[in-house]
Amino acid sequence: MLSKKLTVNRFLRCFFWLSSLSIVSQPSFALGKLGHQIVCQLAFDHLPVNKQEKIKQLLATTPKKHQVLINRYNYIKKGSAITFANACTWADAIKHTKKFSRYNSWHYLNVPRNQTFITSKTCQENCLPQAILLHQKALAQKDQPATWSQTKALMFLGHWLGDIHQPLHISFTSDLGGNKIKLSHVDIQCTNLHWYWDDCLLYRGKNSKAQWLELLTLQWQQNGRLWQPIQVWQWADESFQLIKKPSFNYCHMDNQGHCQAPKKEVVLPQGYFKKHQGIMEQRLLLAAKRLTQILSVSL
């Protein structure tokens, strides 16, 4: 009996280990947990108290199974209250559930190699800029009392603002937004360029959410400009123009002005991390400020 029990336990350990490998090996189309937590916590902290209370009311409508999912995904103790920072990772936590699989392509916007700019004509549905527009509209319905539909819109919206400011979420179809651009470094965990921008740029040097929040709070300058729907395409194009710069090490222009992918593994030059972590700081700050604007007019 004991031997049989040990065999079952070994099987289960092996099953979960293999399952985790299959998840890790999937192409990365999501800014890492830390990035989303930073954006949403920073935005929340700069909202007036009445808007913060509205967010808390919405999060309180989260069904138990989704509370468990969020906490488990963020390695938070079961039964802990859901924070907006952790709720903004929900869109990644549901990726492998059949019910929500249709949203997987909403985390990014990939375009052909001959694309030069991102405009409102670039994508009509099922992509990141359109996802922001759809869920902002859903959140602005302002149902009374708060509903789970609004809460989902809130959590999606917070997530999308993080994704659209990670430059490689607006990039090229042929290499899956940098997922096929392999890095030759042996001293980092991130083995492709997309993964590097999702995670490694955030965790090296400033390895805690508190450190990031302290830094970005010091840099915060209130922008009073109201949010307008057309701006999502401008935000997307900001990311797109960044990935085409030679210093990004993702794009090599041919004689027709089209961006070609590197033909071999990329060696990131000395100083790449310091320069581009600074760029990522500004992208996170812009994401948080813009999310604050949207929530200010939508809640």
Domain 28-298 has CATH 1.10.10.10: no
Beta strands in the chain (DSSP E): 109-111, 170-172, 252-253, 259-260
Other CB atoms closer than 10 Å to residue 120's CB: what's the count? 15
Count of CB atoms within 10 A of residue 214's CB?
11
- The whole-angstrom distance between residue 282's C-alpha and the CA centroid of its chain comes to 15
**Hey, which residues does 172 pair with through a beta bridge?**
111
Listed by start position, the domains of the chain span 28-298
Integer angstrom CA distances of residue 204 from 27, 80, 111, 189, 196: 22, 28, 30, 11, 11
pLDDT interval class at 12 (50, 70, 90): very low
Per-residue model confidence as pLDDT tens digits over 37-89: 999 999 999 999 999 999 999 999 999 999 999 999 999 998 899 999 999 99
pLDDT per position as a tens digit, 144-194? 788 999 999 999 999 999 999 999 999 999 999 999 999 987 677 899 999
Q: Are 116 and 125 in contact (CB under 8 A)?
A: no
pLDDT of residue 253: 84
pTM exceeds 0.85 for this model: yes
Residue 192 has what DSSP assignment? B
> Six-digit token pair at 292?
């604050």
CA count, 13 A, side-chain hemisphere, 299? 25
| Residue 186: predicted pLDDT | 63
